[in-house]
C-alpha cells in the first residue's frame, strides 16, 4: 500500500533535498573487474552480517516518510542475491516512485522479464569494452555475449531507458569512446561515461589514467554536433545528444568537475551502514540498533542524522583521500 510522503521532506545542512538511496544488497560478484576489486584477496561477508530482505524493506519504508522517491539496488552483483524477486516486489510496495538496479549483465538476460513483473523499473549495465577479448581481460574472464544479450533483453522487456556505464581508462579502452557513443545513433540507450576513480586498488589507480569528461566530449564531437540537454538539478550526469540521435550521452565527472552541489543521495551498505558520501569514512550503523529492537522512531532519528551529516563535498582530489576509499564492491559504488 502506498504511503503519503508529501508531509515529510528532509534536506541536509546545505539545503539539498535527499530523496535517493543506493542500497548494496551483496558484496559478492561473479566478475573480478581489475579496477573494482582490492589489491588483496577479498573476504566476503557472512550471510548473517548482510541485511535481510525484511530489514532492507523496513529501512526503505521509514526513509519513504522523509520523501525518499528513488532506490537503486547495487552490489557486488545484485542479481547474485537469492530471492531478489521477492525483495524487489516488497520494495515496490513501499510506494517509492522509482526502483532500479545496476548490474554487470552476466545474468540479466535470464531474469529480465521476471524482474520487470516484480516491479523493477529500469537497469544500468556496466560495460567497459565492446571488444570480446578486451572485455575478458578487464573482467578477468567475463563473456561479453551474455552482456550484449542482456542489453537486448532489457530493451525488449521494458527496463528502459537502458543505461550503459562505461569507465574510459587511458591506454586501455579510451579508443572505444566513439564506438560507444555511436550506439546512441541507432538505439535509445543512455551511454554514461564515468571518470576513472580510486577504489582502494593501490596497484591500479593512477590519476594519469583518468580520461577527463571534457576530453570525452571533444572526442565524441568528431562524429556529430553535441546538443546539451536541460539539467534538472539532481543526479551526477550531464546529458548530451548527438544531433538527430535517439539515444543520450551522459557525462559523470567526479574527478575533474564534481557534482556535489546537486547530490541527492545516500548509500546503504550490505551490512547496514548508511554512508552519507561515497568518498567518506563517515558511516551510521543502522543494522545493530535495528537488531537490538530499535523502534521506527529511533530508526527515523538515525536516518535523519545521516542526512544532516552529509558533507558539502568529497575530498577525492586530495592525495591523502585515496587510501581512505574502500573497495567499491563493499560499499556499493
pLDDT at 3: 43
pLDDT at 266: 92
Q: What is the pTM of this model?
A: 0.91
pLDDT at 314: 63
- Least confident range of 67-76, 263-272, 288-297, 323-332: 323-332
Residue 1 has pLDDT above 70, yes or no: no
pLDDT band at 200 (very low <50, low <70, confident <90, very high): low
Query: What SS3 class is residue 277?
Result: coil
- Least confident range of 164-173, 243-252, 255-264: 255-264
Contact (CB, 8 A) for 108 and 155: no
pLDDT at 41: 67
% of the chain at pLDDT higher than 90: 68
Contact (CB, 8 A) for 322 and 198: yes
Q: Which domain holds residue 287?
A: 20-331
**CATH number of the domain encompassing residue 71:** 3.20.20.70
Number of domains in the chain: 1
Residue 13 resides in a domain: no
pLDDT at 213: 94
Q: Which residues of 25-50 are buried (b: 16+ CB within 10 A; e: fewer)?
A: bbbbbebebebbbbeeeeeeeeeeeb
pLDDT at 256: 75
CA distances from 15 to 4, 62, 262, 263 (A): 22, 21, 10, 11
> What average pLDDT does range 19-48 have in this prediction?
85
- Least confident range of 35-44, 173-182, 192-201: 35-44
pLDDT at 169: 94
> E-assigned strands of the chain?
20-24, 70-74, 98-103, 122-126, 163-166, 190-194, 226-228, 238-242, 248-252, 265-268, 273-275, 284-285
d(CA 206, CA 8): 43
pLDDT at 10: 81
Residue 119 resides in a domain: yes
pLDDT band at 13 (very low <50, low <70, confident <90, very high): confident
Q: What is the DSSP letter of 169?
A: B
**Cell numbers representing residue 54 in the block:** 525484511
Residue 8 resides in a domain: no
pLDDT at 14: 77
**Spatial CB neighbours of 89, under 8 Å, sequence gap ≥ 6:** 118, 119
d(CA 182, CA 220): 9
Residue 279 has pLDDT above 60, yes or no: yes
> What average pLDDT does range 32-43 have in this prediction?
73
**Cell numbers representing residue 143 in the block:** 563473456
Longest dimension (CA), the chain: 59
pLDDT at 5: 43
d(CA 214, CA 122): 28
pLDDT band at 2 (very low <50, low <70, confident <90, very high): very low
Residue 280 resides in a domain: yes
pLDDT at 190: 97
pLDDT band at 99 (very low <50, low <70, confident <90, very high): very high
d(CA 294, CA 115): 32
Residue 162 resides in a domain: yes
Residue 278 resides in a domain: yes
Residue 227 resides in a domain: yes
Nearest to 201 by CA among 60, 62, 330: 330
Residue 246 resides in a domain: yes
Amino acid at each position: 500500500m502506498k504511503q503519503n510522503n508529501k508531509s515529510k521532506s528532509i534536506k541536509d545542512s546545505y539545503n539539498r533535498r535527499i530523496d535517493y538511496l543506493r542500497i548494496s544488497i551483496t558484496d559478492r560478484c561473479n566478475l573480478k573487474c581489475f579496477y573494482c576489486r582490492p589489491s588483496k584477496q577479498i573476504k566476503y561477508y557472512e550471510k548473517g552480517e548482510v541485511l535481510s530482505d525484511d530489514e532492507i524493506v523496513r529501512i526503505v519504508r521509514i526513509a519513504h516518510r522523509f520523501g525518499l522517491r528513488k532506490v537503486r539496488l547495487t552490489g557486488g552483483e545484485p542479481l547474485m542475491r537469492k530471492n531478489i524477486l521477492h525483495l524487489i516486489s516488497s520494495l515496490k510496495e513501499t510506494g517509492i516512485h522509482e526502483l532500479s538496479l545496476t548490474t554487470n549483465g552476466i545474468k540479466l538476460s535470464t531474469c529480465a522479464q521476471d524482474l520487470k513483473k516484480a516491479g523493477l523499473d529500469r537497469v544500468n549495465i556496466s560495460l567497459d569494452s565492446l571488444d570480446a577479448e578486451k572485455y575478458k581481460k578487464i573482467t578477468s574472464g567475463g563473456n561479453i555475449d551474455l552482456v550484449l544479450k542482456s542489453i537486448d533483453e532489457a530493451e525488449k522487456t521494458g527496463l528502459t531507458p537502458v543505461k550503459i556505464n562505461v569507465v574510459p581508462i587511458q591506454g586501455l579502452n579510451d579508443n572505444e569512446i566513439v564506438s560507444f557513443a555511436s550506439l546512441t545513433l541507432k538505439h535509445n540507450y543512455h551511454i554514461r561515461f564515468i571518470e576513472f576513480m580510486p577504489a582502494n586498488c593501490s596497484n591500479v589507480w593512477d590519476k594519469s589514467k583518468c580520461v577527463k569528461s571534457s576530453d570525452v566530449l571533444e572526442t565524441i564531437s568528431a562524429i556529430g554536433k553535441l546538443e546539451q540537454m536541460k539539467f534538472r538539478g539532481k543526479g551526477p550526469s550531464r546529458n548530451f545528444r548527438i544531433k538527430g540521435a535517439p539515444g543520450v550521452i551522459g557525462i559523470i565527472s567526479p574527478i575533474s568537475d564534481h557534482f556535489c552541489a546537486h547530490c541527492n543521495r545516500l548509500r546503504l551498505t550490505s551490512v547496514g551502514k548508511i554512508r552519507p558520501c561515497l568518498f567518506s569514512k563517515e558511516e551510521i550503523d543502522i543494522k545493530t540498533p535495528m537488531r537490538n529492537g530499535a523502534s521506527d522512531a529511533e530508526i527515523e532519528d538515525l536516518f535523519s542524522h545521516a542526512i544532516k551529516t552529509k558533507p558539502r563535498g568529497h575530498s577525492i582530489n586530495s592525495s591523502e583521500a585515496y587510501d581512505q576509499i574502500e573497495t567499491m564492491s563493499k560499499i556499493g559504488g
